[in-house]
A = this chain, B = another copy of it.
């Protein structure tokens, strides 16, 4: 009897489909393509020599190598957890080691949080647009989405964490340089969000992936820092903070973390254990050694490079894009968000752009939980050097002018 695979899958999987981002990543290898698609750091900024030296020290000594290659606790490599707890304290949040779980990148943090909280029909508050990977991670549990209060909307939903027909399980927020728009919450908006969630007893999932990639102005306190100050500490608070080294050290090591109340970490450790036992110990040890010894100049260089690329992208957009397009002017992160005239469809534009100009980007609809945003698109500015990006935007501007002309 031949297997009816589709029929044998769980109902939630029958609807699952691929990510536009991941499919588009494949285009990066084609010759001549200028891609603004991925949320990709410049590999020239990876601290390669430091990583190589750390790997050599760890693997060169039989004792540290045995630890790096053997099964290890699900919670993560203890010195790395301690280092992260210290780094969180520097950002205004007193953390114990037991408040930290190491995850395989912050994507896994979002996946675990979805697994911990969500059952079909639960509601999650998300910005519109929001990070596609979060929608994918939560989507496996078939939640409903409602808009997160934010710029232009300070209203919190009426029913909170408990009771009522509709169960809001948590709010998902990116306070700094949001993916995909590049926009941030102001200090007042952060305070409002934290106070509003606390009044409802509603957990906040804070995705802090871009927090350190600030190019203008001073760092603002994280939602976790504000909430811990309000509640009298992380354990009494209601924020689950997802951090990552993917943007500041190297993404392929897949090292992220969750900082959260102990009661939440205890359950997440069980999910980690059932899910993949633990994150690569070698990678955790390398990351720990590099992150705890790297000079401050490393982050300064990343910021300098990306600031210059952001500026070049904004200049090229002004020079080459039709006046009827609008875009964000982010103070950090990796992305500029473009809104086209309402009648244009960014997926049609992408097909035309690839064919006519060999330029790739991500159409904006997939970042919208409700399928709106068809006239929006995301441009990454961290990967390409200024001259390449400027050429790509000149070509894309040409496609846009022709699309608007007829």
A contacts, CB < 8 Å to B: 1-13, 16-19, 22, 25-26, 38, 40-41, 43-44, 46, 48, 51-52, 55-56, 59-60, 62, 65-66, 68-74, 103-105, 107-108, 111, 115-119, 122, 133, 136-137, 139-141, 160-162, 169-170, 198-201, 203, 236, 238, 246, 250-254, 261, 263-264, 267, 269-271, 273-283
Identical chains bound together, number = 2
A108–B276 Cα gap in the complex (Å)? 5
In the bound complex, how far is the Cα of B6 from the Cα of A78, in angstroms? 26
Shortest Cβ gap from A143 to chain B (Å):
10
Q: Closest CB of chain B to A200's CB: distance in Å?
A: 7
CB distance from A190 to the nearest CB of B (A): 19
Residues in B with CB closer than 8 Å to A40 are 70-71
Are the C-beta atoms of A250 and B107 separated by less than 8 Å? no
A75 CB, min distance to chain B CBs, angstroms? 10
Chain B residues with CB under 8 A of A269: 18
Shortest 10 CB-CB contacts between residues of A and residues of B: A52-B59, A1-B201, A69-B250, A252-B281, A43-B66, A136-B274, A108-B276, A104-B276, A55-B55, A5-B263
Query: Given the complex, which residues of B lie within 8 Å of A252, measured CB to CB?
Result: 68-72, 278, 280-282
A19 to B250, CA, bound (A): 32
Contacts known (A236-B2, A253-B280); A69 close to B55, Cβ less than 8 A:
no
Query: Would you call B38 and A65 a contact (CB within 8 A)?
Result: no
How far apart sit A253 and B108, CA to CA, in the bound complex (Å)?
17
Residues of the B chain whose Cβ atoms lie less than 8 Å from the Cβ of A12: 119
What are 5 A-to-B residue pairs whose CB atoms are below 8 Å? A3-B161, A22-B74, A52-B65, A107-B274, A137-B274
Most-contacted residue by chain B among A111, A160, A200 (CB, 10 A): A111
Closest chain-B Cβ to A322's Cβ sits at a distance in Å of 32
Apart from A22-B273, A69-B250, 5 more pairs, CB < 8 Å: A1-B200, A16-B270, A51-B65, A55-B59, A71-B252
Q: Which residues of B contact A10 (CB under 8 A)?
A: 115-119, 122, 141
Q: What is the minimal beta-carbon distance from A120 to any residue of chain B, in angstroms?
A: 10
- How far is A5 from B262 in the complex, measured between Cα atoms in Å? 10
B283 & A73 in contact (Cβ 8 Å cutoff): no
CB A196 to nearest CB in B, in angstroms, measures 11
User: Please, how many angstroms separate the alpha-carbon atoms of A4 and B60 in the complex?
Assistant: 48
Q: Which residue of B160, B251, B271 is within 8 Å of A70 (Cβ)?
A: B251
